[in-house]
Amino acid sequence: MLTPEQDAVIYAAIHADPVLDGFARAGNDSEVAARLNSHTVTVHRRVSAAQLLRWSALRNVMQKLQSEATNGTNGKKSIAQAALTMLSAGVSELPLDAEIIAMIDVLVGGNVLTADDKADLLTRAAEQIGLAESLVGQAVTIDDIGRILYVDRPNGKIPKVI
């Protein structure tokens, strides 16, 4: 079950989208839930160790990082050292969270990696998820939609559209 805060986010999303709003006004809760849960939002969550190694080999990333770790200055040097450690740590996957993306951005800004290197890595980590999951961290059910839209339906009845 969703929290009241999550309900409010979903309610706002439904009414912000003319198509979802139309289905909601028509009382088609199943279509609203299906559209909110359909995989249409791209996120970059994680990249597997195999993908990371292939990326680093194809883009010559190891050599770039080793050069920066040896010859670099300030933050770029420590980020390059950390990246090399992550690449050789034997982890099964690397989460592409905000901190990792910020580190990559520093390396791109410092001309250690290219914007194309970053884009290629993000492509490997791309996943499709539903709008509901991207907004509140989970899919929604038809019952969730009915409960969320109850405020728009006096006495549980769907108002006639004139």
Question: Could you tell me the residue ranges of all domains in the chain?
Answer: 4-39+136-153, 44-128
Mean pLDDT of the chain: 90
Tokens representing 50? 């195999």
H or E element, residue 46: strand 46-48
**The whole model's pTM is what?**
0.69
* Dihedral pair phi/psi, residue 158, rounded to 5°: -85, 125
Q: Is 3 left (phi over 0), alpha (psi -120 to 50) or beta?
A: beta
Q: What is the pLDDT of residues 107-126, one digit of tens each?
A: 999 999 999 999 999 999 99
* Residues 75-81, mean pLDDT to the nearest whole number: 90
